[in-house]
Structure 1
Amino acid sequence: MPNGSGTVIKRGRTYTIIYRKVQGGRMVMRSKGGFVTKAAARAYYPMLANPQDNPQTTTVAQLWIMLQKQRKWQDISQDKRGHYATAYKRLAPIHDREIGSLRFWELQDLVEDLPGAFYPKRDAKTVLQKIYDVAVINEFISPAKAQLISYLELPSKPLTAQDARTPAEMQAIWDDWTAGHDVAGYMLIMAYLGLRTGELMAIDPDAVDLDARCVVGGIKTEAGRNREIPIARAVLPVIRQLLPQAKSGLCAYGIEKLYSEYGKMIERTGIRQLRPYCQRHTCYTRLLEVKPEIPQAVINAIVGHSNGKLADTYGHISLDAKLAAVDAMQMLPTDVNN
Structure 2
Amino acid sequence: MRNPNGYGSVYKLSGKRRRPFIVAKTISLKGGQQKRVILGYYETRKEANLALADYNKNPFDLNVAKITFYEVFEKMLLQNDKVLSPATVKLKKSLIKTFEPIYNIPIRDLKLVNLQDLFDADETSYATNRQKKSLCTQIYTFALKRELVEKNYAELIDINKRNEKVVKRMIFSNEEIEKLWDLSKRGNSDADMTLIMIYTGMRIGELLDLKIVDINTEEKYCRAGSKTAAGKDRLIPFNSKIFTVIEKYIDSNKVYLFQTLRGKKLQYNNWRTLNFSPLMEKIMAKHTVHDCRHTFATLLNNADANQTATKDLMGHANFTTTEKFYTHKDIKELHKAVDKLI
TM-score by length of 2: 0.48
